[in-house]
Structure 1
Amino acid sequence: MKKVFFLICSVLSCVSVMGQVDRVEPPFWWSGMKNPAVQVMLYGKEIAKYDPDVKGLDVADVHRTENLNYLFITLNIASVKAGIFEIRLKDGDDLVQTIPFELKERKSNSAHRKSYDSSDLIYLLMPDRFANGNPAIDSHPDVIENVNRKLDGGRHGGDIQGIIDHLNYIEELGVTAIWSTPLCVDNDEKYSYHTYAQSDVYKIDPRFGTNEDYKRLASELHKREMKLVFDYVTNHWGLTHWMMKDLPTYDWIHQFPGYGQTNYRTTTQMDPNTSQYDYRYCMDGWFVKSMPDLNQKNPLVLNYLTQNAIWWIEYANLDGFRVDTYSFNDKEAIAKWTKAITDEYPNFNIAGEVWMHDQAQMAYWQKDSQVGAIQGYNSNLPTVMDFTLHDAIMEVFRVEKPTWNTGIIQVYENFVNDFLYPNINNILVFAENHDTPRINELYPNFEDYQLAMTLIATVRGIPQIYYGSEIGMKGDKYRGDGDIRRDFPGGWQSDSSTAFTAEGRNETQNRYFNFSKKLFNWRKSANVIHQGQTTHYLPEDELYVYFRFMEGKAVMVILNNNKTSKELSLDRFTENLKGFQQGKDVLTDAVIKLGHKLTIRPKKSMILELEK
């Protein structure tokens, strides 16, 4: 029996003319790429019946699938100069259609672009909730869901122009890179604002702006020597993606047949005792019912995703990726995807969302991991996210009665396992993100915010902060994701006040902002934090002390997790304090003589730049 590969219907309504090509993806490419070939996908009614040739380019391969509406043409572009070429579809000797395909001139030194690293501070924002710079595009005839700011889970109207309008604010805070949640089209009827269920991965959602607007955002950031991180989704698309109505192959997505729910247990990816049933439903199951799971084992799918990622890097001049649900992908295929990108861009950083709660399991996913090597696996992923540190931060500052293994010791124990990671400075550290509880909701006291931010700003790795927390913004996870993704005050013309300026912020907001600004701007030039080694000491009486040091420079960090002042004896820190006479407190500018004892106020942190 012939396989039925249609998920929803057999032919898109827009495909009506026999032999007419309606889509070309990628829409153009670049000369001078390391990979000497590009695979061009054509889509149109029964175009697979025709034979393609390309004037001026060698056609290395033509691939047809069971769906006659697709044609995959591999072009050899090695040593080919930029220009516009003609893809000609022929029916015997008859020319049916000519499709222009451009190879653009690649930017100078594009392959060796600098990416984000431990010297950066990343600001995570959700465009729909940050600022509305162009109210004229809040709703758009090409997509279904209209703006409804009264609905937590609705579209609120934030856009790319809103980000550009407030780059001064972000830069003033001390941020050096922006990670924006996805911006490609999401044409769901509801909850489309988060844009993780994409329906066209070559096009910016028109409610956010245009592809050119996104390029302009990158350009404006680069003028400030700031970076743009693209949130890439390899694991799934949205059910409204245009291909889902007419799949290129039955196995373009994982089918059970149709929908099958993931079990979310990504530990099955390395569990030597797991059942094949559980393994399959973790990796192949759909993240949610509206997000079909892509089958990267299919070479056409993997190549499509690889080329799309490279296309965005070249087109928008990107500085890095964060990859959503990294550990839900086919692990062999995602390793190939990652390697293909880092082969093309050797300095390009990619942070994978590996949401696990054990350091060995997370380290498994970092490039060149000895943990992964036990099973002969290398993900090629430069950066993983430190979810175990996040787990600790979610708890430690509200422990009322610390015990042997609760309280600030939980932070200490996280760093005990740093030996598991092959590149400890390439770990993304964070207190919260767009999927987690807001720290200012968990910890309504400013002092706890200080402790959390001091921690992530001074430990190894790449710190990431979440928009709005720097002004004390709250949000209750139990009320739904919409509440932890509140609108930034002042981002809309109708807002009664703005937190983008000192004059517009209230006293509490300025207190949060001024502390954050001082801390993060200091970190920008603190090489000892970016590249230094760490020595930490077992916490005593909820006092945690650690040192960052390199080549005669040293910083002493003290966290007092008590509601009372504590006296800290300095004698046990001699190995790190030897030769230093005083320290300048980064947070207060006070110069402190280093005697035998030091008094730390309740719920306070100190960052001492040590001086001889």
Structure 2
Amino acid sequence: MKKLLFALLISISAFAQIDKVEPPFWWNDMTHSDVQIMFYGKNIAQNEVTVSNGIIIKGIQKTENPNYLFVTIETKNIPAQDFVFTFKNGKKSFTQTYSLKSRRENSRFRKSFDSSDMMYLIMSDRFANGNPNNDNNDALTEKADRTKDNGRHGGDIEGIIKNLDYIKELGATAVWPTPLCEDNDERGSYHTYGQSDVYKIDARFGTNEDYVRMSAELHKRGMKNIMDYVTNHWGYKHWMMNDLPTYDWLNQFPGFKQTNYKMTTQFDPNASAIDTKNCMDGWFVKSMPDLNQNNPLVLNYLIQNAIWWIEYADLDGFRVDTYSYADKQGIATWTKAITDEYPNFNIVGEAWLYTHAQIAYWQKDSKVAAIQSYNSNLPSVMDFMLQGILGGGVFNENKGNWNEGVTKLYDSFTNDFLYPDVNKILLFAENHDTNRLNEVYKNDFKKYQMAMTIIATVRGIPQVYYGSEIGMAGDKGKGDGDIRRDFPGGWNGDTNNAFTKTGRTEEQNKFFDFTAKLFNWRKSKTVIHNGKTTHYIPENNVYVYFRYNEKESIMVVVNNNEEKQTFKSNTFQENLKNYKSGKDVLSDASFDLKNDISIEGKSVLVLELK
């Protein structure tokens, strides 16, 4: 009896060595079949490791930290099953069960987001509080306090799920919530870009199972789930920070050095080596330790974590934060590994730059990057050039001079030749880091209409920032909290519930109805999704362009002049051809194309040609 009790105590003591297993499980029939499992626990590396069921261990890697052990197994042609790792140190041993699960049918060839979609960006903590019971968590430091602009307000996954019908009614087909993984910073944790556990949904948002359920609810509605993924950094409260696997798991100088933010150093042929290094390896801010993707262990960890979330949560795409700050070769390898596993999977990267060539550099098969024999493998980039124009106040410029007004839009689109695939560019007038569109234009409905019409009808994938569709504003000059206000109606006790038509004000309904009409019309318009474009040099601050294919043609007229403008339709005969009339999608008014066309000041026409 004493021997049995002694053996049991040894087993319990030894088993306690394993505090973390990542990834927590894997799947069979994966292209990424060599799975590197990280075991973490007190002196775990002192053990010899074997595995049951004929599973082959292809490699065991130890680091200078004995609390980590990286074990690579081969899962190719292995059926879904549970198997057992045995850890032995002398006469002491313990076991750890690991699961290989079955993949969803056709998981590898899942459809991702594309130019037929409209993406709805949600600041997760500020959209809707569907479950007030999870606002606070004993294991997490920051508590909910709606009086603080930069505090946690309680928005959660349940709030998103409860309002998916609202988002669908708006015309959105894909949802991009800001990161939902755990962020245990003492302040500003609602932001969630400084994550403390990348395998775990933040308990104040819900559970991993809630996130899977959100995906399923989106898919029931024919909508897509886009995960906001961070490859460049973690939060300084990440569980590894007090016990790093290796010193060079992070970029250290030693310790903290802030990036110089000069992303141009990543392709500038004249850049100094130190400037290039400080941009790429420097920390975004002190509370966000910079991951070293040049370390093979780190890179593989990030690859496997990304694939795990896609497979586990049935994801439809990634938006990758601060894409161009990561190690150039490392992030290209990461991206290729994801798209090798899922050939149709779309990933849009944030490369916040303000020249077309610099943005185009980061798109897959870029002609610009090819000059330096570089390929990011990134399918989609964000059109910060268009955002800078729309969000920079272009519709406040009433004079159509050589380089003012809508001429800026025309000039921007003349650079489309730089992009390998213009239909995969993400279009937006604003996001969670920029000034609010309705702040820039002081809630001028006509100017809002102009901006939304542009992103809905030019090439690429439109993205709308939550709340703009009801006229929400916010001044970045007052701090980020002001551009991330709570959506009215998302909290118990809100007097204005903008999620329902009867709960919205007359002004909110005006914004919503227009936005919903525009983007629901866009859903079925393949001519917008992948048609060709011809545009004309603006005159009198009026910009005209056509989207067309072999079957149909759309004529878009943007009048940025304060005055009504009239022009002869035969100016555009090259595109009008034999079309006789046009019906405006927005007003249902019809236009005889044999006559002059008039358009009111500060307005748009979207004409379906007949």
TM-score range, shorter chain: over 0.9
Residue aligning to 2:438: 440
Could you tell me how far apart the structure 2 residues matched to 1:543 and 1:51 are? Answer: 74
Residue aligning to 1:546: 545
Report the CA distance between 1:395 and its aligned residue. 2.6
Deviation per residue, 1:230-254 (Å, 9 max, x gap):
0000000000000011000000000
Report the CA distance between 1:400 and its aligned residue. 4.2
Deviation per residue, 1:532-553 (Å, 9 max, x gap):
0000000000000000000130
Residue aligning to 1:73: 71
* Residue of structure 1 aligned with 2:125, choices 112, 120, 128: 128
Could you tell me how far apart the structure 2 residues matched to 1:136 and 1:581 are? Answer: 60
- Residue pair 1:31, 1:104 contacting (<8 A) in 2 also: yes
1:429 aligns with 2:427: yes
- Residue pair 2:318, 2:346 contacting (<8 A) in 1 also: yes
Residue aligning to 2:488: 489
Matching residue's letter, 1:190:
R
Could you tell me how far apart the structure 2 residues matched to 1:402 and 1:602 are? Answer: 13
Residue aligning to 1:9: none
Matches within 5 A, 1:78-227: 78-92=76-90, 94-227=91-224
Could you tell me how far apart the structure 2 residues matched to 1:212 and 1:95 are? Answer: 36
1:594 aligns with 2:593: yes
Could you tell me how far apart the structure 2 residues matched to 1:132 and 1:52 are? Answer: 46
Matching residue's letter, 1:145:
E
Matching residue's letter, 2:285:
V
Could you tell me how far apart the structure 2 residues matched to 1:360 and 1:16 are? Answer: 59
The runs of at least 4 consecutive aligned structure 1 residues that moved more than 4 Å come to: 15-19
CA distance 1:585–1:141, change in 2 (3 Å) = same
Could you tell me how far apart the structure 2 residues matched to 1:207 and 1:552 are? Answer: 50
Residue aligning to 1:253: 250
Where 1:490 maps in the other structure, the secondary structure is coil
Matching residue's letter, 2:69:
L
Report the CA distance between 1:392 and its aligned residue. 1.0
* Residue of structure 2 aligned with 1:239, choices 230, 236, 240: 236
Deviation per residue, 1:490-543 (Å, 9 max, x gap):
000111120001100011100000100100100001110001000000000000
Residue aligning to 1:415: 413
Where 2:415 maps in the other structure, the secondary structure is helix
Deviation per residue, 1:248-297 (Å, 9 max, x gap):
00000000100000000000000011011100110000000000000000
- Residue pair 2:232, 2:291 contacting (<8 A) in 1 also: yes
Where 2:85 maps in the other structure, the secondary structure is strand
* Segment drifting more, 327-336 vs 399-408: 399-408
Residue aligning to 2:522: 523
- Residue pair 1:20, 1:97 contacting (<8 A) in 2 also: no
Deviation per residue, 1:381-417 (Å, 9 max, x gap):
0000000011111231112444311111111111000
Matches within 5 A, 1:293-332: 293-332=290-329
- Residue pair 1:124, 1:180 contacting (<8 A) in 2 also: yes
Could you tell me how far apart the structure 2 residues matched to 1:209 and 1:18 are? Answer: 29
- Residue pair 1:18, 1:45 contacting (<8 A) in 2 also: no
Q: CA RMSD in A?
A: 1.1
CA distance 1:549–1:306, change in 2 (3 Å) = same
Matches within 5 A, 1:317-396: 317-393=314-390, 394-396=392-394
Residue aligning to 2:469: 470
Matching residue's letter, 1:316:
A
Could you tell me how far apart the structure 2 residues matched to 1:275 and 1:306 are? Answer: 30
Could you tell me how far apart the structure 1 residues matched to 2:579 and 2:401 are? Answer: 34
Residue aligning to 1:11: none
Aligned residues: 596
Matching residue's letter, 1:504:
G
Could you tell me how far apart the structure 2 residues matched to 1:400 and 1:153 are? Answer: 36
Matching residue's letter, 1:368:
D
Matching residue's letter, 1:597:
D
Could you tell me how far apart the structure 1 residues matched to 2:551 and 2:316 are? Answer: 32
Matching residue's letter, 1:111:
R
Could you tell me how far apart the structure 1 residues matched to 2:343 and 2:191 are? Answer: 30
Could you tell me how far apart the structure 2 residues matched to 1:16 and 1:376 are? Answer: 53
1:558 aligns with 2:576: no
Report the CA distance between 1:16 and its aligned residue. 9.2
- Residue pair 2:335, 2:376 contacting (<8 A) in 1 also: yes
Where 2:19 maps in the other structure, the secondary structure is strand
Deviation per residue, 1:85-143 (Å, 9 max, x gap):
11110114x35220110000111100000000000000000111000000000011010
Could you tell me how far apart the structure 1 residues matched to 2:177 and 2:376 are? Answer: 24
- Residue pair 2:113, 2:346 contacting (<8 A) in 1 also: yes
Residue aligning to 1:405: 403
- Residue pair 2:15, 2:95 contacting (<8 A) in 1 also: no
Report the CA distance between 1:17 and its aligned residue. 6.7
- Residue pair 1:18, 1:44 contacting (<8 A) in 2 also: no
Matching residue's letter, 2:593:
L
Where 2:257 maps in the other structure, the secondary structure is coil
Report the CA distance between 1:596 and its aligned residue. 3.5
Report the CA distance between 1:571 and its aligned residue. 1.9
- Residue pair 1:19, 1:96 contacting (<8 A) in 2 also: no
* Residue of structure 2 aligned with 1:291, choices 288, 297, 316: 288
Report the CA distance between 1:572 and its aligned residue. 1.4
Could you tell me how far apart the structure 1 residues matched to 2:257 and 2:466 are? Answer: 34
Residue aligning to 2:575: 576
Could you tell me how far apart the structure 2 residues matched to 1:552 and 1:545 are? Answer: 20
Could you tell me how far apart the structure 2 residues matched to 1:410 and 1:532 are? Answer: 22
Matching residue's letter, 1:513:
F
TM-score normalised according to structure 2 size? 0.97
Matching residue's letter, 1:414:
S
Could you tell me how far apart the structure 1 residues matched to 2:80 and 2:237 are? Answer: 35
- Residue pair 1:254, 1:294 contacting (<8 A) in 2 also: yes
Could you tell me how far apart the structure 1 residues matched to 2:581 and 2:79 are? Answer: 62
Residue aligning to 2:4: none
TM-score normalised according to structure 1 size? 0.96
Matching residue's letter, 1:161:
E
Could you tell me how far apart the structure 2 residues matched to 1:430 and 1:19 are? Answer: 49
Could you tell me how far apart the structure 2 residues matched to 1:590 and 1:456 are? Answer: 22
Could you tell me how far apart the structure 1 residues matched to 2:415 and 2:261 are? Answer: 25
Where 1:599 maps in the other structure, the secondary structure is strand
Deviation per residue, 1:134-184 (Å, 9 max, x gap):
000001101000000010000000000000001110000000000010000
Matches within 5 A, 1:2-81: 20-56=17-53, 57-81=55-79
Matching residue's letter, 2:438:
N
The gaps in structure 2 that reach 5 residues or longer are: 1-11
Could you tell me how far apart the structure 2 residues matched to 1:400 and 1:552 are? Answer: 36
Matching residue's letter, 2:545:
Y
Could you tell me how far apart the structure 1 residues matched to 2:225 and 2:15 are? Answer: 42
- Residue pair 1:18, 1:46 contacting (<8 A) in 2 also: no
CA distance 1:247–1:591, change in 2 (3 Å) = same
CA distance 1:596–1:105, change in 2 (3 Å) = same
Could you tell me how far apart the structure 2 residues matched to 1:206 and 1:296 are? Answer: 28
- Residue pair 2:37, 2:70 contacting (<8 A) in 1 also: yes
Matching residue's letter, 1:355:
W
